[in-house]
Amino acid sequence: MIRAAGLVSRGAVFADSADLDAFGRLRVSPPYTIFDSKQLIDAQPLFWDDQQTAGAGTASTYLPNLSVTRLDVTGNVAGTRVRQTFRRFHYEPGKSHLILLTGILTAEGGAGVTGITSRIGYFDTDNGVFFQRVGSVNSVVVRTFTSGAPVDTVTAQASWNLDRLDGTGPSKITLDPTKTQIFFIDFQWLGVGRVRFGFDIGGVIVYCHQILNANVLIVPFLTSPNLPLRYELSSAGTGAAVTASLLHICASVQSEGGTETTGTAFAADRGATILTTGNDTNIYSLLAIRYKTATANRFATIAKLQYSVMSSTANATFRMGLVLNPTMAGAALVWVSVPNSAIEVAVPVAANLLTAGTGTTFASFYDSQNRSGTLLPQLPTDLRIGSSIAGVSDIMFLFVQPVPVQGATAFFGSINWLEQV
Q: What is the pLDDT of residues 310-346, one digit of tens each?
A: 888 888 889 998 999 999 999 999 999 999 999 999 9
Which residues are CB-neighbours of 205 under 8 A, at least 6 positions away? 18, 184, 198, 199
H or E, element range at 132: strand 128-134
pLDDT in tens, 356-413: 999 999 888 888 865 444 444 455 677 788 999 999 999 999 999 999 888 888 999 9
Alpha carbons 242 and 200: distance in angstroms, whole number: 31
Q: What is the pLDDT of residue 3?
A: 36
Q: What is the pLDDT of residue 7?
A: 39
Residue 312 neighbours by CB distance under 10 Å: 12
CA proximity to 387, closest of 304, 303, 299:
299
**Average pLDDT for consecutive 10-residue bins of the chain (421 residues)?**
38 61 66 91 95 96 97 94 95 90 78 84 96 94 94 97 96 93 93 93 93 91 93 93 93 85 88 93 95 80 85 88 94 94 95 95 80 48 85 94 88 90 83
Q: What is the pLDDT of residue 373?
A: 42
Q: What is the pLDDT of residue 112?
A: 59
Q: What is the pLDDT of residue 404?
A: 87
Q: What is the pLDDT of residue 186?
A: 94
Residue 185's Cβ-count burial label (10 Å; 0-12, 13-18, 19+) is buried
Alpha carbons 361 and 211: distance in angstroms, whole number: 43
Give Dmax (Cα) for the chain.
Answer: 80
Q: What is the pLDDT of residue 303?
A: 79
Alpha carbons 397 and 285: distance in angstroms, whole number: 6
Q: How many helices (H) and strands (E) does the chain have?
A: 0, 28
Contact call for residues 194 and 213 (beta carbons, < 8 A) = yes
- The CATH number of domain 2-256, selected from 2.60.120.200, 2.30.40.10, 2.40.10.170, 3.40.190.170: 2.60.120.200
CA proximity to 311, closest of 245, 406, 232:
406
Contact call for residues 98 and 265 (beta carbons, < 8 A) = no
Name the 3-class secondary structure at 266.
strand
CA proximity to 80, closest of 58, 106, 112:
58
Q: What is the pLDDT of residue 50?
A: 98
